[in-house]
Amino acid sequence: MADDPQRNFRSAYYEKVGFRGVEEKKSLEILLKENPLDLEKLSTFSQRFPLPSMYRIHVWKVLLGILPPHSDSHALVGGYRKEQYQDIMEALEVMRYINPSTPSTHVYLRMFQLENQALPRCSETQLPDEENEDFLSISRAMEEIVDDPVDCYWLIKCFINQFHMKFGDSVPHLPKSLEHYLSQEEPRLLTHLKSTGALPQLPFSLWFRRCFAGCLPESSLQRVWDKVISGSCKILVFVALEILLSYKIMLMGINRLDGVVRFLCNIPQENTDAIVTKAIDLWQKYCGNPNHAV
């Protein structure tokens, strides 16, 4: 039977927006209509397939616990989230921690600190410490992905809380894991990084603590965050690995420690979608079932 041009067009379209076929789109729509939502199935789907933007924010909110599994409660809970956001904002304004000219990311930081009983004294004007810089980097990236400020704050807060709670003990071990997989894929590059002294100085904070916020453009970053939010921090290792592999020739030609670090902190932005795609392939190659790829 001759190929159906319309079907081929639809397949190409869904491939472009992140689906390999119409069936996957239908599967996700069916999952999102269940009441209550099956979080395990939703998480598995998010790990196996990329989420298109039309569903991404909603899925993230459910997986992060911002919205409950019972979809008939989403409107009510969403209203509560908005009220809480406004109450915290008003409290910070009264205490003069924020004003109309305060950058939104710094507003989110003060809100987060207030909710965690970590708000500094108003008189203290110290520069943000490393942990706060991690928060601000993730906030700036999330702000590029999410339009609504209420959703943006809740996603930042719950993403960071979930990451620390689920993966806080694993993050310090990710550099060693990266070294292991690099030895499997490109031992010559690993030797070069060791000989230049660059290996222990790679931008691990940017890659692993900030989950590539400030490193990858948001179009690529959100595909990585799909996997992190659905339960795997190991994907961060394979994105870092693929960055090293993709720029192997250039890195092999840099013999100074500061040159290696400077390049990796400012990688070219035009090839990141391909890097993330290859990283996901490596993640599946080494970790097998994505459900166990923590």
- For 35-80, the pLDDT digits (tens) are 999 999 999 999 988 887 889 999 999 999 999 999 999 999 999 9
Average pLDDT, the chain: 89
pLDDT at residue 14 is higher than 60? no
Contact 110, 120 (CB under 8 A): no
Q: How many CB atoms lie within 10 A of CB 293?
A: 19
Give residue 121's Cα distance to chain centre: 31
pLDDT at residue 123 is higher than 70? no
pLDDT of residue 177: 97
Question: How far is 246 from 252, CA to CA, in rounded Å?
Answer: 11
pLDDT of residue 294: 59
Of residues 178 and 18, which shows the higher confidence score? 178
Class of domain 168-294: mainly alpha
Query: DSSP class of residue 213?
Result: B
Domain spans in the chain, listed from the N-terminal domain onward? 1-54, 64-167, 168-294
CATH topology for 64-167?
Helicase, Ruva Protein; domain 3 (1.10.8)
* Amino acid (1-letter code) at residue 3: D
pLDDT at residue 197 is higher than 50? yes
First to last CA, the chain: 44
Of residues 137 and 6, which shows the higher confidence score? 137
Average pLDDT (226-239) is: 96
pTM metric for this prediction:
0.89
